[in-house]
Amino acid sequence: MSLAIIVTSIATFLSRFLGALTSEKVSVKSKVFQWFNCVAYSTLAALLGRMIIFPAGVLSESSLIIRIFVLFICISIFIYTKKNLVLPTLISAILLSVLTSV
pLDDT tens readout for residues 46-102: 999 999 999 998 888 899 999 999 999 999 999 999 989 999 999 999 999 999 987
Which pLDDT belongs to residue 36? 85
**pLDDT (mean) for 23-52:** 88
> What's the average model confidence in pLDDT over 15-35?
83
Dihedral pair phi/psi, residue 56, rounded to 5°: -125, 155
Residue ranges per domain, the chain?
Answer: 55-102
Q: How many CB atoms lie within 10 A of CB 5?
A: 9
Higher model confidence: residue 23 or residue 45?
45
Distance, in Å, from the CA atom of 45 to the CA atom of 72, rounded to the nearest integer, reads: 14
* pLDDT score recorded for residue 25: 75
Residue 2 is predicted with a pLDDT of 83
pLDDT score recorded for residue 18: 85
Query: Which of 61, 60, 54, 67 lies closest to 95 in space, CA to CA?
Result: 67
Q: Can you give the pLDDT at residue 23?
A: 75
Cα-to-chain-centroid distance, residue 95: 19
